[in-house]
């Protein structure tokens, strides 16, 4: 599996291919913890936040919210303890970048968490990792111990008066716990239901204290931002979305893997056909889901010869989203009805059951898709499915409902043929 950068110097992936890259020695030998030293060496928390703002870093967890702004929401004066929580619940189908970042370069994440903690005046940082990634938790625990031994975690870090503990925490199999407020409930030992917003975590998060939740990739970007400065980092990408983005590429490409691209990397077609080695067995490209299962599906026509820019704005313009950067490529053999059925089954299984439309809607949709798959499809089902999606979208308690509706809506819109075939089984 390929792992590396294309079209830019590797930042996030600078060390991943080195011999035992997870060790603190290798990390330090390649500029590790210099950013932390720089920060503790004379930057004020506000300086740090300012740099991150300049970097135009946008959350890599899926929402794409400007990280610097998120950090600035945390009340400085609050007497309560503040928390930094790393969201390593990575469960979005098609997404596995966080996994390799943590596996190959855990110290980069620890450094990122520490800098965030410093910027927010926090002394405790948790890394909430999905339960299935047990081996990553072990890697992280080892790394934390190394860092502690080196005086980088715990009391008086690098001899300064900044102290911060970093802990790992395990999930136990629930996609919804990737949603930041559900994650916080889960971290408090409750069922992983999302919470009402407002209040936002920045005001009342973990244990009702000010909390910042950031994706792994977001936090691992921070050390480089500090080292090279916010502007330089932003310049790597576009004006609105700075820096580089790590994409998880899977499906019918010859070279699946983890690709670091500059934001605004142009031409998705080139990316697929050349960088990722093109479609397996020379088959034709049929569709791409560029940002993890929760985004609109893109048919080949919208990609070939359309030089689609790979950043937030570019993908929206092309009718989809960056999401979590889970880039799923499908060739002509794939039946989009089948692939859509597969995804809605995922969302049904992962719906937390809190709110009516998502709980009942996904259950109902799965039943319809299964019926159609049994060859009992009816022409009017398409309309029914679309209407149900419309009744879920925008009505659910958290975005999971929307995330379940979008792929279906776009699939039916973009691939009517694949559905017609199933909906009028007798006709064909």
Partner 1 sequence: MSQQFTPNNPLPQEAKVPEEIAVFSPEVEAEIDGHLAKYPPDRKRSAILPLMFIVQRERGGYLDPPGVAYLADRLGVRITDIWEVATFYSMINTEPVGRFHIQVCKTLSCKILGAGGITARCTEKLGIKAGETTADGLFSLSEVECLGSCGTAPMMQIGFDYYENLTPEKVDDIIERCRSGQMTNGVR
Partner 2 sequence: MSQELIKVTINGQEHGVLKGARLIDVCREKGFDIPSFCYYSDLALQASCRMCLVRIEKMPKLQTSCTITCTDGMIVTTQSEEIEKAQRAMVEFLLANHPLDCPVCDRGGECELQEMAFDWGGLEERFAERKNYAPEKYLSPMVANDPQRCILCKRCTRVCDEWMGEDAIEAGGRGANTVIGTYGGWLNCSQCGNCIEVCPTGTLLDATYRHQARPWELSQTISTCTYCSDGCQMSLGSRAGELMRVVARDRYVNGHNGEFLCIKGRFGHPFVNHEGRLRTPMIRYKKGGKLIPATWDEAIRYTASKLDAVAEAHGASAIAVVGSPRLTNESLYALHKFATEVVGTENFTATDAFSLQPFLDDLGGPLATHRDIRYARTILLIGGEPEELQPLTGRQIRQAVRNGGCQLLIVNSIPIRLKQHAAKFLHVRPGTEDAVVLAIANQAHNKLAAAKMGVEEVELIELRRALTNTEGDIVIMFGGELSPEAQSIVAQLPYTFARESRRVLLHPLPLYNNSLGAHDMGLMRGANDAAGLVEGAGATVRALYMAGSFLPEHVRGREGALSNLDFMVVQELFETETTRFADVVFPAASWAEVDGTFTNNDGLVQRVRQSIPPVHQSKPDWMITAQLAQELGVDFGFQMSASAVFKELAERVAAYEGLRYPLLKDETRPVQAHYALRERRDLSQELESIRARVDAMDETALKIMGTPEVGHELFKPGTLTGRVPQFPLLASGNPVPPSMAISPLYQITIDERLRPTAAATGD
| Residues contributing to the site for ligand FMN (CB under 6 A) | 59-63, 65, 67, 70, 87, 89-92, 176, 178-180, 213-215, 218, 398-400, 403
CA dist 406 and 411 (Å) reads: 8
DSSP letter for each residue of 2-49: EEEESSS--STTSSTTSTTTTSHHHHHHTTTTHHHHHHHTT--HHHHH
Q: How far apart are CA 175 and CA 134, in angstroms?
A: 16
- Binding residues for partner 2, total number by CB under 8 A: 28
Rounded to whole angstroms, the Cα distance separating 121 from 86 reads: 16
Upper half-sphere CA count for residue 242 (Cβ side, 13 Å):
23
Residue 205, token pair as written in the block: 């998060």
Which does residue 427 bind out of partner 1, partner 2, ligand FMN, none, counting CB within 5 to 8 angstroms by kind?
Answer: none
Residue 277 CB partners (closer than 8 Å, separation 6+): 253, 254, 255
Name the residue nearer to ligand FMN (CB basis): 73 or 167.
73
267 binds partner 2 (CB under 8 A): no
15: nearest Cα among 100, 81, 102, 104: 104
240 near 12, Cβ under 8 Å?
Answer: no
Residues 61-100, one symbol each (x = binds partner 1 by CB under 8 A, - = not), give -----------------------------xxxxxxx-xx-
Stretch that binds partner 1, among 69-77, 130-138, 153-161, 416-424 (CB under 8 A): 130-138
Cβ-contact 140, 109 below 8 angstroms:
yes
Q: Choosing among ligand FMN, partner 1, partner 2, none, which partner's interface includes residue 215 (Cβ < 5 to 8 Å by kind)?
A: ligand FMN
User: Are 336 and 296 contacting, i.e. CB atoms less than 8 angstroms apart?
Assistant: no
- Which lies closer to partner 2 via its Cβ, residue 176 or residue 253? 176
> Binding partner of residue 346 among partner 2, partner 1, ligand FMN, none, CB under 5 to 8 Å per kind?
partner 1
Q: Give least dist CB 86 to ligand FMN, A.
A: 8
The residue whose two tokens read 């300049």 is 54
Q: Which parts of 242-399 fold into alpha helices (H)?
A: 268-270, 312-317, 336-350, 356-371, 381-392
Residues 345-384 binding partner 1 (CB under 8 A) are: 346, 349-350, 352
**CA-based torsion, 102, 16, 63, 399: positive or negative:** negative
Question: Binding partner of residue 89 among ligand FMN, partner 1, partner 2, none, CB under 5 to 8 Å per kind?
Answer: ligand FMN
199 preceded by a cis bond (ω within 30 of 0):
yes
The residue from 67, 351, 409, 410 that contacts partner 2 (CB under 8 A) is: 351
Structure tokens at 422: 């199933």
Quote the tokens at residue 321.
């989203």
Burial 325-361 (b: 16+ CB within 10 A, else e): bbbbbbbeebbbbebbbebbebbbebbbebbebbbeb
Contacting partner 1 (CB under 8 A), which of 42, 79, 189, 282? 189
Q: Does 350 bind partner 2 (CB under 8 A)?
A: yes
Residues within window 142-171 making contact with partner 1, judged by CB under 8 A: 167, 169-171
Which of 64, 251, 323, 325 is in the footprint of partner 1 by CB under 8 A? 251
Which residue, 215 or 351, is less far from partner 2 as judged by CB? 351
Rounded least distance, CB 395 to partner 2, Å: 5
**Please, which of residues 155-194 interact with partner 2 by CB under 8 A?**
174, 191
Q: Residue 398 binds which entry of ligand FMN, partner 2, partner 1, none, with Cβ cut-offs from 5 to 8 Å by kind?
A: ligand FMN
- Taking the complex as a whole, how short is the minimal distance between the CB of residue 21 and partner 1, in angstroms? 18
- Chain centroid to CA 147: 26
CB-nearer residue toward partner 2: 267 or 350: 350
Q: What is the smallest separation between the CB atom of 180 and ligand FMN, expressed in angstroms? A: 4
C-alpha distances out from residue 225 to 1, 69, 248, Å: 28, 15, 22
**What secondary structure letter does DSSP report for 200?**
P
Residues at the contact surface with partner 1, assessed by CB under 8 A: 1, 90-96, 98-99, 126, 130-135, 167, 169-175, 186-192, 207, 248-252, 256-258, 289, 293, 326, 328, 330, 333-334, 339, 342-343, 346, 349-350, 352
Residues at the contact surface with partner 2, assessed by CB under 8 A: 174, 191, 196, 348-357, 359-364, 367-368, 371, 384, 391, 394-397
């Amino acid at each position: 599996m390929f792992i590396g950068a294309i079209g830019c110097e590797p930042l996030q992936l600078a060390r991943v291919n080195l011999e035992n890259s997870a060790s603190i020695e290798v990390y330090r030998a390649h500029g590790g913890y210099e950013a932390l030293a720089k920060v503790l060496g004379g930057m004020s928390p506000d300086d740090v936040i300012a740099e991150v703002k300049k970097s135009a870093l946008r959350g890599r967890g899926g929402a794409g919210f400007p990280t610097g702004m998120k950090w600035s929401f945390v009340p400085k004066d609050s007497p309560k303890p503040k928390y930094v929580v790393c969201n390593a619940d990575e469960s979005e189908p098609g997404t596995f970048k966080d996994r390799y970042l943590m596996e190959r370069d855990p110290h980069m994440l620890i450094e990122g968490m520490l800098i965030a903690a410093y910027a927010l005046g926090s002394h405790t940082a948790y890394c909430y990792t999905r339960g299935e990634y047990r081996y990553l938790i072990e890697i992280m625990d080892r790394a934390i111990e190394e860092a502690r031994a080196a005086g980088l975690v715990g009391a008086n870090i690098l001899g300064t008066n900044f102290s911060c503990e970093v802990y790992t925490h395990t999930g136990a199999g629930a996609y919804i716990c990737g949603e930041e407020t559900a994650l916080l409930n889960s971290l408090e030992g409750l069922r992983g239901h999302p919470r009402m917003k407002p209040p936002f975590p920045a005001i009342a998060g973990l244990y009702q204290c000010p909390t910042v939740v950031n994706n792994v990739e977001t936090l691992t970007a921070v050390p480089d931002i500090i080292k090279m400065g916010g502007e330089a980092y932003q310049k790597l990408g576009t004006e609105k979305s700075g820096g580089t983005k790590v994409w998880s590429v899977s499906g019918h490409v010859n070279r699946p893997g983890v690709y670091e691209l500059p934001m605004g990397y142009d031409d998705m077609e080139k990316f697929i056909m050349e960088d990722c080695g093109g479609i397996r067995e020379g088959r034709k490209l049929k569709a791409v889901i560029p940002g993890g299962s929760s985004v609109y599906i893109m048919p080949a026509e919208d990609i070939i010869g359309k030089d689609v820019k790979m950043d937030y704005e570019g993908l929206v313009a092309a009718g989809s989203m960056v999401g979590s950067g889970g880039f799923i490529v499908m060739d002509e053999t794939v039946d989009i009805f089948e692939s859509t059925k597969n995804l809605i089954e995922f969302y049904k299984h992962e719906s937390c059951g809190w709110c009516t439309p998502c709980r009942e809607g996904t259950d109902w949709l799965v039943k319809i898709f299964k019926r159609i798959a049994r060859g009992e499809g009816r022409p009017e089902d398409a309309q029914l499915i679309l209407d149900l999606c419309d009744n879920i979208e925008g009505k659910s308690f958290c975005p999971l409902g929307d995330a379940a509706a979008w792929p279906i809506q776009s699939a039916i819109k973009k691939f009517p043929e694949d559905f017609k075939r199933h909906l009028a089984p007798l006709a064909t």
